[in-house]
Every structure is written in C-alpha cells, then in structure tokens.
Structure 1
Amino acid sequence: MIKNVHGNTVDHLGAAIVAGQYAAGAVVPPEPMLCEELGVSRTVVREAVKSLIAKGLVSTGPKVGTRVLSEDQWNWFDPDVIAWKSKAGLTRDFLRDLQDLRRVMEPAAVRLAAERATHEDLAEIEAAFESMRSAAEGGGGDYVACDLRFHQGLLRASHNRMIVQMSKVLSALLRTSFEISTTREDGPRHSLPLHRAVLDAVIAHNPAAAEQAILVLIAGANEDIEDVLASRGGDPVARATVLLKAA
C-alpha cells in the first residue's frame, strides 16, 4: 500500500536524522539517491520530506536542498520524533527536560482536577489505579499503559480544554518516562502508594494536597530514572532495552 511505503520512508529518514546519521545543517541526499537507496519513487520521497518538514526535522529551499535542522527546532510533541529519539537513546538532557515539563504542567493540572473532577472522572481514575495495582501485583495487564491512563484521567479531570488537548500530545512523552522509571526493581509496587495519595487528594477536593502529592510522585519517578541511568554508567537509555527489561 502507498501509505505503508510512505510511512516506512518517513520512518527510515526520520530515525536516521534523530540518530545523528545526518548532522544539523547537513544536506539530505538528493531525491535520485534516496529513491535508489530506499527503492521508492520520487513522489514517495517528496511526500516523506514534507512530513519531516512538518515535524521540524528538515527545511528545504531553492538551491540549498533539504537540510537537517537543529534539535531545538524539532517538534518534541510529535509521537514519531519521540519514538525515534527513544530508539536512538534517551540522553540525560532529554530526560531532564521531560521531568521539568512534568513538574511545570502536572501540579497545576492536578490542582484543577481536585477542584473540578466529577464522579465520572473519579471513577475513571480509580479504575485506572486498580488496573495499575493488578498489573503490579502480577494480576496481568500492562502497568505502563494503566499508569498512562491514570495520568491522562487526571489531566482530563482538570476540565481545561487546553490542558486536555496537551494531554493528547504529551502521551508519548509520559509513556517514555514511565517505561524507564518502572524498570527499577519493584518500581511499580513502590509507586502505588504515591499514586494513591494523589487520587485521595483529588477525591477529597484538596488542591494543595493534590499538588504536593503529584510533586512527590514526580520526584520519585525522577529518582527511578536517575537510578536506571546510573546503572548504565550515564549512557543513553534505548527504548528497545527498556521494553525488553520490562517484559
């Protein structure tokens, strides 16, 4: 299918750029070379380049070709960019930025959730927590997926349309964080009481307590990530390795 060919081409080029195969400022090989290398038509290559432009990875211009942009211009809220970065290796700087983002956004969202959550919101978050508990205690299920559902439920419970919209683009970033932090031995089981404290504060409609509880939870996740990095000597953490450990 054309869509699959297009997707595979975008994936090949995007992953190569994010992995550093083409440095910032470098010119991507011209269309004829890419067509030959990838076994696709010029139309497919052109459409793939358009996708990479939309993701902030490259720019094009008359007589300059397709040039790779610096990392600070990449769309870090694009799920593909996050997936490629995870595959290439998550650096300490990247993970620091991610944790900073969580500390800025989630406490404010959880305060609003404590003020505005409906019975339906609380039931959904409670169900997510119970799924996390089951997964952590060996009852089956994907702990990371349940954890993501829990945090997405909190963000939706803020009933702020902009935060809810951001929750959709934050999903890939949060999943990446959870995949790493939960690889620490018995990490999911230890994090359950921290999640419970957040939920209890939201149920009690106590914004200050909810904010403090989520900050403690984020701090715990940061400690887990630092522990994983230390165990690897500070080397980048590859998502494929993380998923293998979590299996």
Structure 2
Amino acid sequence: MSGVIEPGDAIPQEWTLCEQMGVSRTVVREAVKSLAAKGLIESRAKRGTIVRPMYDWNHLDHDVIGWQAGADESGLNLVRLTEFRQAVEPKAAAMAAERATSEAIERIEDAWKEMDRTAGNDVEGFLAADIRFHTEIMQATGNPFFSPVANVIGASLEASLRVTNCLPPDNIPSVPLHEKVLQAIRDRQAMAAHDAMLSMLMDAANRIDRALAKSASLDQDAPKEGENG
C-alpha cells in the first residue's frame, strides 16, 4: 500500500517473509492467498509473486480500504474517497427519499439523534453514529449494489474525522448538515435530499483540503534532521 514494492515487482520469497515476520510458512501462505483474492498480488512463472497494477485491486474490499487509509500519509487517498462519495451518496439520498420505508427512515433518524447526542463530547461515539447514518441511507435505497459502498463510507469518515475533527467540539457543525439530509428524506423530497447530501460532502471536502494544507505547511516549517532547533 505504501508503494515500497511497486506494481510489477516481486514480494520477498516465502522463507524471507517467515524470517522477517517471525511466523510460520502456513501463516505466510494464508496471507498470500488473502492478498491474491483481493487482487493485490499474483504468482507468475519465473518471477515469483508480484504486485498487480493498482487498477486490478479490489478497492471496495473492507481490508483494502483500511490498509490504504493506514498508508495514506499524503492524504491523496482520503481525497479520492471523498470524490467517490460525492459521486454516489447524493444519488443514494435521493433514492432513499423516494423509496425508504418508515422503518428505514426511523433508523436514519436514530443514527442522527446519536450523532446529536455525542457531538461535542465523544469522538468515537460520534464516528460510529455518523457511519451508521450514511450506511442506513445506503440500505434505504433498496438497491443491494449500494451496500458495498458502506465500506468506503466507513473508511472515509474515519480517516476524515482523524484529519478534520480531532476534538469533540469539531463535530458540532456537521450535525445540522446531517439533519437537513434527514429532513429531506423524511419529507420525501428527492432533489432536496440530493442537494443536502452534496452540500454536506462539499463541506467535508473543503475541511479536508484546509486540514491537509495546514499539515503540509507545518511539515515544511518543521526543522529538518541535523538542523539546529
């Protein structure tokens, strides 16, 4: 994920991995099988096990999303996740406004109430409720093909909140933005739900851009190794 081993290059041999990781050959083989199943690597004659091109990776896989987020020092992957959400979630919100059952709307509202309750005092609780809010909207579309997108949303929200909402009070401004989405879905106003979701995601994108720019500026200003402090 970090790019240390580039697409087309071979990963270390089995015995080397066993030695480096301090695990058995069985563990290494199971790990290799898992990575191959997710489209990350493949075995080739006379070349060993190589990293596949990024476009072959299963980017909607829960583990792959989490690993990418963990290796995303530049913030580029977070930006890409947010772009993907902007393309999908507004449409999902509109569909939810048209199709959601009363029970589905109640679950969305329950998630929002938990967001409102935890904003300002519980970052982890707020994150869990936020993920549930967006996931319930995906489910409320009635289209099962939206379900895998919940993995993207969860990873994106977790990475985004780590960058932009490190302190509990930072979460408070997003509560009314979510409420607008909820209200539009509850009122069966598809276009209003679409626009409210897009507005919320644009706000998130802007906050991410500002946070990443600030972080990059701090990195540039930090004294380099060997310089006087």
TM range (shorter): 0.7 to 0.9
Aligned residue number for residue 123 of structure 1: 106
Partner residue in 1 for 2:28: 45
Q: State the Cα distance separating 1:51 from its structure 2 match.
A: 0.8
Alpha-carbon distance in 1 for matches of 2:138, 2:161: 16
Q: Deviations over 1:52-80 (max 9, x none)?
A: 11122211122110112233322221222
Q: How big is each residue's C-alpha offset from its partner over 1:162-189, in whole Å with a ceiling of 9 and x where there is no partner?
A: 2234435643344333443433784311
Match of 2:54 among 71, 75, 93: 71
CA distance in 1, matches of 2:148, 2:69: 23
What code does the residue aligned with 1:126 have? E
1:107 paired to 2:51:
no
Report if aligned partners of 2:122, 2:168 keep a CA contact under 8 Å in 1.
no
CA separation in 1, counterparts of 2:215 and 2:131? 25
Alignment correspondent of 1:191 = 174
2:227 counterpart residue number: none
Correspondence 1:64-213 to 2 at 5 A: 64-138=47-121, 142-168=125-151, 170-183=153-166, 186-213=169-196
* Local SS of the residue matching 2:50: strand
Contact 1:91–1:235 (8 Å) recurs in 2: no
Distance 1:196 1:32 in 2: 55
The counterpart of 2:8, out of the listed 14, 25, 42, is: 25
From 25, 30, 55, the counterpart of 2:38: 55
Distance of aligned partners of 1:47 and 1:218 in 2 relative to their CA distance in 1, 3 Å threshold: same
Distance 2:158 2:120 in 1: 20
Whether contact under 8 Å (1:27, 1:66) holds in the other structure is yes
User: Aligned with 1:197: secondary structure?
Assistant: helix
Mark the CA change 1:228 to 1:134 in structure 2 (over 3 Å): closer, same or farther: same
Structure 1 residues 55 and 220 mapped into 2: Cα distance closer, same or farther (>3 Å)? same
TM-score (norm 1): 0.80
Q: 2: distance between equivalents of 1:218 and 1:209?
A: 14
Summarize the Cα distance change of 1:42–1:173 in structure 2 as closer, same or farther, 3 Å threshold.
Answer: same
Aligned-partner Cα distance in 2 for 1:30–1:39: 14
Return 5+ residue gaps in structure 1 as ranges. Answer: 1-17, 237-247
Identity %: 37
CA distance in 1, matches of 2:200, 2:131: 14
Q: CA deviation at 1:154?
A: 1.1
Change in CA separation of 1:184 and 1:222 when aligned onto 2, cut-off 3 Å: farther
Q: Matched residue pairs, number?
A: 219
User: Partners of 2:215 and 2:94 in 1: how far apart?
Assistant: 36
Letter of the structure 1 residue corresponding to residue 77 of structure 2: F
Corresponding residue SS for 2:88:
helix
DSSP-derived class of the 2:173 partner: helix
Instruction: Tell me the C-alpha RMSD between the 2 structures.
Output: 2.4
Q: Give the 3-state SS of the residue equivalent to 1:59 in structure 2.
A: strand
Structure 2 unmatched ranges of 5 or more? 220-229
TM-score in terms of structure 2 length: 0.85
Are 1:36 and 2:19 matched, yes or no? yes
**Which residue in the other structure is 1:232 paired with?**
215
Q: What is the letter of the counterpart of residue 62 of structure 1?
A: A
